[in-house]
Amino acid sequence: MSGVLLAPLAAAPVIPDFGRGSTCIRDNKLFCWDWVQSNWGGTLRPALIQHIELTLIAVVVGFAISFVLALAAYRWSRLEPPVGIVAGILYTIPSLALFQLLVPVTGLSRTSAEIALVSYTILILFSNILEGLRNVPADVRDAAEGMGLTRWQTLWRVELPMALPTIVAGLRIAVVTVVSLATVAVFIVNEGLGAPIYAGLQNAFKTELIAAGALTVALALFADGALVLLQRVLTPWARTARS
Protein backbone atom coordinates (compact mmCIF):
# COMPACT_ATOMS: atom_id res chain seq x y z
CA MET A 1 0.00 0.00 0.00
CA SER A 2 2.52 2.57 1.07
CA GLY A 3 4.62 1.58 -1.91
CA VAL A 4 1.90 2.77 -4.13
CA LEU A 5 1.67 6.10 -2.49
CA LEU A 6 5.42 6.56 -2.56
CA ALA A 7 5.71 5.70 -6.21
CA PRO A 8 5.21 9.19 -7.60
CA LEU A 9 7.80 10.52 -5.17
CA ALA A 10 10.44 8.18 -6.46
CA ALA A 11 9.91 9.35 -10.00
CA ALA A 12 9.09 12.96 -9.16
CA PRO A 13 10.81 15.71 -11.09
CA VAL A 14 13.76 17.35 -9.45
CA ILE A 15 12.56 19.78 -6.81
CA PRO A 16 12.97 23.25 -8.31
CA ASP A 17 15.92 25.09 -6.97
CA PHE A 18 14.42 28.13 -5.36
CA GLY A 19 17.84 29.78 -5.41
CA ARG A 20 18.05 30.10 -9.18
CA GLY A 21 15.86 31.72 -11.81
CA SER A 22 13.94 34.95 -11.58
CA THR A 23 13.03 36.69 -8.36
CA CYS A 24 9.49 35.53 -8.93
CA ILE A 25 10.60 31.90 -8.84
CA ARG A 26 12.98 32.48 -5.95
CA ASP A 27 10.22 34.08 -3.87
CA ASN A 28 7.69 31.37 -4.92
CA LYS A 29 5.19 34.01 -5.95
CA LEU A 30 1.68 32.91 -6.87
CA PHE A 31 2.39 32.55 -10.58
CA CYS A 32 5.63 32.98 -12.53
CA TRP A 33 5.12 33.11 -16.25
CA ASP A 34 8.84 32.69 -16.96
CA TRP A 35 8.82 29.32 -15.17
CA VAL A 36 6.01 28.15 -17.41
CA GLN A 37 7.97 29.27 -20.46
CA SER A 38 11.15 27.49 -19.46
CA ASN A 39 9.37 24.31 -18.36
CA TRP A 40 6.80 24.07 -21.13
CA GLY A 41 8.76 21.78 -23.40
CA GLY A 42 10.34 19.73 -20.65
CA THR A 43 7.49 19.20 -18.19
CA LEU A 44 4.10 20.67 -19.04
CA ARG A 45 3.74 19.80 -22.70
CA PRO A 46 4.66 16.10 -22.29
CA ALA A 47 2.34 15.90 -19.29
CA LEU A 48 -0.48 17.46 -21.28
CA ILE A 49 0.00 15.03 -24.16
CA GLN A 50 0.09 12.08 -21.80
CA HIS A 51 -3.05 13.38 -20.18
CA ILE A 52 -4.83 13.58 -23.52
CA GLU A 53 -3.70 10.04 -24.30
CA LEU A 54 -4.91 8.74 -20.96
CA THR A 55 -8.27 10.42 -21.49
CA LEU A 56 -8.73 9.39 -25.10
CA ILE A 57 -7.90 5.76 -24.46
CA ALA A 58 -10.20 5.62 -21.45
CA VAL A 59 -13.12 7.26 -23.27
CA VAL A 60 -12.72 5.27 -26.47
CA VAL A 61 -12.44 1.95 -24.67
CA GLY A 62 -15.19 2.91 -22.23
CA PHE A 63 -17.43 3.93 -25.10
CA ALA A 64 -16.82 0.70 -27.00
CA ILE A 65 -17.66 -1.41 -23.95
CA SER A 66 -20.70 0.69 -23.03
CA PHE A 67 -21.94 0.67 -26.62
CA VAL A 68 -21.92 -3.10 -26.84
CA LEU A 69 -23.50 -3.43 -23.40
CA ALA A 70 -26.17 -0.84 -24.20
CA LEU A 71 -27.08 -2.50 -27.51
CA ALA A 72 -27.37 -5.83 -25.71
CA ALA A 73 -29.51 -4.33 -22.96
CA TYR A 74 -31.65 -2.56 -25.55
CA ARG A 75 -32.28 -5.83 -27.33
CA TRP A 76 -32.69 -7.94 -24.18
CA SER A 77 -34.01 -5.67 -21.47
CA ARG A 78 -33.35 -8.33 -18.81
CA LEU A 79 -29.66 -7.45 -19.12
CA GLU A 80 -30.14 -3.90 -17.96
CA PRO A 81 -30.36 -4.42 -14.17
CA PRO A 82 -27.18 -6.53 -13.81
CA VAL A 83 -25.14 -4.26 -16.09
CA GLY A 84 -26.51 -1.20 -14.34
CA ILE A 85 -25.64 -2.54 -10.90
CA VAL A 86 -22.06 -3.48 -11.81
CA ALA A 87 -21.48 -0.18 -13.60
CA GLY A 88 -22.97 1.62 -10.60
CA ILE A 89 -20.65 -0.13 -8.15
CA LEU A 90 -17.60 0.63 -10.33
CA TYR A 91 -18.70 4.24 -10.47
CA THR A 92 -19.09 4.63 -6.73
CA ILE A 93 -15.81 3.02 -5.61
CA PRO A 94 -13.50 5.87 -4.58
CA SER A 95 -10.89 6.28 -7.29
CA LEU A 96 -7.91 5.92 -4.98
CA ALA A 97 -9.30 2.67 -3.59
CA LEU A 98 -9.88 1.31 -7.06
CA PHE A 99 -6.36 2.20 -8.15
CA GLN A 100 -4.96 0.32 -5.19
CA LEU A 101 -7.18 -2.67 -5.79
CA LEU A 102 -5.83 -2.93 -9.33
CA VAL A 103 -2.13 -2.66 -8.55
CA PRO A 104 -1.74 -6.25 -7.31
CA VAL A 105 -3.35 -7.44 -10.54
CA THR A 106 -2.01 -5.20 -13.26
CA GLY A 107 0.87 -3.53 -11.45
CA LEU A 108 1.97 0.08 -11.37
CA SER A 109 1.21 0.47 -15.04
CA ARG A 110 -0.73 2.61 -17.45
CA THR A 111 -3.04 -0.41 -17.81
CA SER A 112 -4.09 -0.12 -14.18
CA ALA A 113 -4.78 3.56 -14.62
CA GLU A 114 -6.80 2.99 -17.77
CA ILE A 115 -8.86 0.19 -16.26
CA ALA A 116 -9.81 2.46 -13.41
CA LEU A 117 -10.62 5.39 -15.70
CA VAL A 118 -12.63 3.23 -18.08
CA SER A 119 -14.68 1.85 -15.23
CA TYR A 120 -15.83 5.36 -14.37
CA THR A 121 -17.11 6.06 -17.87
CA ILE A 122 -19.23 2.95 -18.21
CA LEU A 123 -22.16 3.90 -16.02
CA ILE A 124 -22.58 7.29 -17.69
CA LEU A 125 -22.08 6.10 -21.25
CA PHE A 126 -24.10 2.91 -20.85
CA SER A 127 -27.11 4.69 -19.39
CA ASN A 128 -27.01 7.52 -21.89
CA ILE A 129 -26.73 5.27 -24.94
CA LEU A 130 -29.52 3.08 -23.63
CA GLU A 131 -31.71 6.04 -22.76
CA GLY A 132 -31.08 7.61 -26.16
CA LEU A 133 -32.17 4.44 -27.92
CA ARG A 134 -35.22 4.00 -25.73
CA ASN A 135 -36.29 7.60 -26.29
CA VAL A 136 -36.77 7.00 -29.99
CA PRO A 137 -40.55 7.41 -30.37
CA ALA A 138 -42.43 4.16 -30.96
CA ASP A 139 -44.12 5.56 -34.06
CA VAL A 140 -40.78 6.25 -35.72
CA ARG A 141 -39.62 2.71 -35.00
CA ASP A 142 -42.95 1.42 -36.25
CA ALA A 143 -42.66 3.38 -39.49
CA ALA A 144 -39.14 2.03 -40.01
CA GLU A 145 -40.29 -1.53 -39.53
CA GLY A 146 -43.33 -0.95 -41.71
CA MET A 147 -41.21 0.28 -44.60
CA GLY A 148 -39.10 -2.85 -44.51
CA LEU A 149 -35.98 -1.77 -42.64
CA THR A 150 -34.44 -4.75 -40.89
CA ARG A 151 -33.72 -4.53 -37.18
CA TRP A 152 -30.08 -3.81 -37.90
CA GLN A 153 -30.93 -1.13 -40.47
CA THR A 154 -33.38 0.46 -38.06
CA LEU A 155 -30.66 0.55 -35.41
CA TRP A 156 -27.98 2.15 -37.58
CA ARG A 157 -30.09 4.38 -39.77
CA VAL A 158 -32.77 5.50 -37.37
CA GLU A 159 -32.30 4.68 -33.70
CA LEU A 160 -28.62 5.52 -33.25
CA PRO A 161 -28.72 8.76 -35.23
CA MET A 162 -31.73 9.84 -33.21
CA ALA A 163 -30.01 8.86 -29.95
CA LEU A 164 -26.96 10.94 -30.87
CA PRO A 165 -27.78 14.03 -28.79
CA THR A 166 -28.23 11.91 -25.65
CA ILE A 167 -25.12 9.90 -26.44
CA VAL A 168 -23.02 13.04 -26.95
CA ALA A 169 -24.40 14.44 -23.70
CA GLY A 170 -23.08 11.30 -21.98
CA LEU A 171 -19.74 11.61 -23.74
CA ARG A 172 -19.36 15.18 -22.50
CA ILE A 173 -19.86 14.13 -18.90
CA ALA A 174 -17.57 11.14 -19.36
CA VAL A 175 -14.77 13.18 -20.94
CA VAL A 176 -14.86 15.90 -18.31
CA THR A 177 -14.91 13.29 -15.54
CA VAL A 178 -11.97 11.40 -17.02
CA VAL A 179 -9.90 14.53 -17.59
CA SER A 180 -10.24 15.39 -13.95
CA LEU A 181 -9.89 11.84 -12.61
CA ALA A 182 -6.81 11.19 -14.73
CA THR A 183 -4.84 13.56 -12.51
CA VAL A 184 -5.28 11.07 -9.68
CA ALA A 185 -3.75 8.34 -11.86
CA VAL A 186 -0.39 9.77 -10.81
CA PHE A 187 -0.62 7.52 -7.76
CA ILE A 188 -0.14 4.52 -10.03
CA VAL A 189 1.79 5.79 -12.99
CA ASN A 190 3.79 8.96 -13.24
CA GLU A 191 2.01 10.32 -16.28
CA GLY A 192 -0.32 13.09 -17.22
CA LEU A 193 -0.98 16.46 -15.65
CA GLY A 194 -1.27 14.72 -12.30
CA ALA A 195 2.54 14.53 -12.23
CA PRO A 196 3.27 18.28 -12.18
CA ILE A 197 0.30 18.84 -9.86
CA TYR A 198 1.68 16.26 -7.46
CA ALA A 199 5.17 17.69 -7.71
CA GLY A 200 3.82 21.17 -7.11
CA LEU A 201 2.06 19.88 -4.03
CA GLN A 202 5.12 18.05 -2.75
CA ASN A 203 7.46 21.01 -2.82
CA ALA A 204 4.86 23.73 -2.31
CA PHE A 205 5.81 25.41 -5.59
CA LYS A 206 2.74 27.39 -6.49
CA THR A 207 3.42 28.11 -10.15
CA GLU A 208 3.75 24.47 -11.17
CA LEU A 209 0.60 23.55 -9.24
CA ILE A 210 -1.41 26.37 -10.74
CA ALA A 211 -0.10 25.90 -14.30
CA ALA A 212 -0.84 22.17 -14.34
CA GLY A 213 -4.21 22.68 -12.68
CA ALA A 214 -5.14 25.36 -15.20
CA LEU A 215 -4.10 23.11 -18.07
CA THR A 216 -6.37 20.39 -16.72
CA VAL A 217 -9.33 22.74 -16.54
CA ALA A 218 -8.57 24.12 -20.00
CA LEU A 219 -8.34 20.62 -21.43
CA ALA A 220 -11.71 19.69 -19.94
CA LEU A 221 -13.34 22.84 -21.27
CA PHE A 222 -11.78 22.39 -24.69
CA ALA A 223 -12.89 18.76 -24.99
CA ASP A 224 -16.38 19.69 -23.88
CA GLY A 225 -16.57 22.51 -26.41
CA ALA A 226 -15.28 20.25 -29.17
CA LEU A 227 -18.01 17.72 -28.41
CA VAL A 228 -20.68 20.42 -28.49
CA LEU A 229 -19.43 21.48 -31.91
CA LEU A 230 -19.30 17.88 -33.08
CA GLN A 231 -22.89 17.39 -32.06
CA ARG A 232 -23.99 20.55 -33.87
CA VAL A 233 -22.41 19.25 -37.04
CA LEU A 234 -23.77 15.73 -36.68
CA THR A 235 -27.32 16.65 -35.67
CA PRO A 236 -28.44 19.67 -37.69
CA TRP A 237 -32.03 18.48 -37.23
CA ALA A 238 -31.89 18.75 -33.44
CA ARG A 239 -31.57 22.54 -33.65
CA THR A 240 -34.56 23.05 -35.90
CA ALA A 241 -36.63 20.73 -33.74
CA ARG A 242 -36.45 23.10 -30.83
CA SER A 243 -37.35 26.27 -32.69
Partner 1 sequence: MNSANTAQAEGPNAYPSAAPLEFRNVSKRYPRSDRPAIADLSFSVPAGEICVLVGPSGCGKTTAMRLVNRMTDLTSGDILLDGESVTQRKPAELRREIGYVIQQIGLFPHQTIAQNIATVPKLLGWEKDRTQRRVTELLELVSLPSEMGDRYPAELSGGQRQRVGVARALAADPPLMLMDEPFGAIDPINRERLQNEFLRLQAEIRKTVVFVTHDIDEAIKMGDRIAILREGGVLAQYATPDELLARPADDFVARFVGADRGLKRLTLSQLHDIVLLDVPTAHVGDAASDARERAAQRDADELVVLDGGEQPIGRLPVARLNGQPVSADDADPLTSTASRETSLRDALSLVVADRNRPLVVLEADGRLAGLVSLELISAALRPADGAGSPEAARGAQR
- Tell whether residue 22 is a contact of partner 1 (CB under 8 A): no
Here the contacts of 29-37 (C-beta below 8 Å, separation 24 or greater) are 29/206, 29/207, 30/206, 30/207, 30/210, 31/206, 31/207, 31/210, 31/211, 32/207, 35/207, 35/208, 35/211, 36/207, 36/211
Here the contacts of 3-7 (C-beta below 8 Å, separation 24 or greater) are 4/99, 4/100, 4/103, 4/108, 4/187, 4/188, 5/187, 7/108, 7/187, 7/188, 7/190
Between 164 and 230, whose beta carbon lies closer to partner 1?
A: 164
Between 96 and 149, whose beta carbon lies closer to partner 1?
A: 149
Cβ-Cβ contacts under 8 Å for 220 (sequence gap 6 or more): 175, 176, 179, 180
Between 113 and 162, whose beta carbon lies closer to partner 1?
A: 162
Q: Which of residues 89-148 bind partner 1 (CB under 8 A)?
A: 137, 139-148
Between 37 and 150, whose beta carbon lies closer to partner 1?
A: 150
Nearest-approach distance from CB 79 to partner 1, in angstroms: 22
Q: Which of residues 137-156 bind partner 1 (CB under 8 A)?
A: 137, 139-150, 153
String of contacts with partner 1 for each residue 32-51, x by CB under 8 A? --------------------
Q: According to CB under 8 A, which one of 72, 161, 210, 213 is a site residue for partner 1?
A: 161
Nearest-approach distance from CB 59 to partner 1, in angstroms: 24
Nearest-approach distance from CB 172 to partner 1, in angstroms: 19
CA proximity to 169, closest of 198, 130, 202: 130
By the criterion CB under 8 A, which residues form the site for partner 1?
A: 137, 139-150, 153, 158, 161-162, 164, 235-238, 240-241, 243
